[in-house]
């Protein structure tokens, strides 16, 4: 079952409360997304560490309910 955008945002906000999130459905199928996520938590972290925080916030849904997510992260 696909994961809707609002559920992705909710999961990320639970782990990264100050995040500003912009999500686009790339294929119109609720299964292929791109996300731009900005947070103070990303300051002084490498891109890999930033992406790990995002993937951790998705609680195992990446690769299951969520098929594809392209992530762009930025500090605030």
Tell me, what's the pLDDT at 62?
Answer: 85
What is the pTM for the complete model shown?
0.89
Of the CATH numbers 3.30.300.90, 3.20.20.70, 3.40.50.2000, 3.40.190.10, which one belongs to the domain with range 5-75? 3.30.300.90
Output the 3-class SS for 29-74.
CCCEEEEEEEEHHHCCCCHHHHHHHHHHHCCCCECCCECEEEEEEE
14-23 long-range Cβ contacts below 8 angstroms, 24+ apart: 14/57, 15/53, 15/56, 15/57, 16/41, 16/53, 16/54, 16/57, 18/76, 20/76
Q: What is the mean pLDDT of the chain?
A: 93
- How much is the pLDDT for 43? 97
Mean pLDDT of 53-67: 89
pLDDT at 74: 96
Quote the percentage of the chain above a pLDDT of 90: 76
Domain ranges of the chain: 5-75
């Amino acid at each position: 079952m696909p994961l809707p955008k609002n559920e992705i945002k909710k999961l990320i906000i639970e782990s990264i409360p100050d995040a500003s999130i912009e999500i686009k459905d790339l294929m119109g199928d609720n299964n292929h997304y791109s996300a731009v996520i900005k947070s103070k938590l990303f300051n002084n972290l490498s891109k890999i560490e930033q992406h790990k925080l995002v993937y951790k916030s998705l609680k195992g849904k990446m690769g299951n309910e969520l098929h594809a997510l392209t992530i762009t992260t930025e500090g605030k």
